[in-house]
Amino acid sequence: MLEPTPVFPPDLIQAATALLAELRAQGLKVATAESCTGGLIAGVLTEIPGSSDIVDRGFVTYSNEAKAEMLGVPAALIAAHGAVSAEVALAMAAGAIVRSKADLAVAVTGVAGPGGGSAVKPVGLVHFAMSRRGWKNVHQELRFGDLGRSGIRLATIAHALTLLREAAGPAR
């Protein structure tokens, strides 16, 4: 029987494995709230055997309606700032914490391309938000440039795993 082709690159599997070990050591559970990655952050985490004790749930909220219905992001916030914004990313992360049993939640919303970009919100722009119960929510904006749709999504997954690993450290 042939070995199946891995779904994710080895560096992402290694990062996810290390993150899960850290979360397990800290006794933390995680949730994801994803737009531009379409569930791939949760996907790479659940690619690791035994992840079910750490990964609580993943919210794939690709549409504005899904962001509002599943995560409680106010439609007025989306209308005022756009789905790809710091404000929406922060609301997504906060909503994932409220609607899960997770201790940590990462949210991503961005423009993966190839279309959909503008001068203000170009292809490769991604807003990240991190929420941990009892902590102040954190936002980061990254502009990956036009790495191609897959490249932007893979870079987003890698950065989200890094943010989760940082948030899993000692309480601030």
Closest CA to 56 of 122, 170, 149, 133: 133
CA angle (64 as vertex; 141, 74 as ends), nearest 5: 85
Predicted structure pTM score: 0.95
How far from chain centre, in Å, is Cα 24?
Answer: 19
For the chain, domain boundaries: 12-167
* Domain 12-167, CATH homologous superfamily name and number: CinA-like (3.90.950.20)
Q: What's residue 170's pLDDT?
A: 67
Phi, psi torsion values for 116, nearest 5 degrees? 90, -10
pLDDT values of the chain reduced to their tens digit, one per residue, 172 residues: 666 777 999 999 999 999 999 999 999 999 999 999 999 999 999 999 999 999 999 999 999 999 999 999 999 999 999 999 999 999 999 999 999 999 999 999 999 999 999 999 999 999 999 999 999 899 999 999 999 999 999 999 999 999 999 999 865 4
Cα separation, 46 vs 1, whole angstroms = 24
Could you give the C-alpha distances from 73 to 16, 54, 113, 139, in angstroms and in order? 27, 25, 23, 16
Name the CA radius of gyration of the chain, rounded: 15
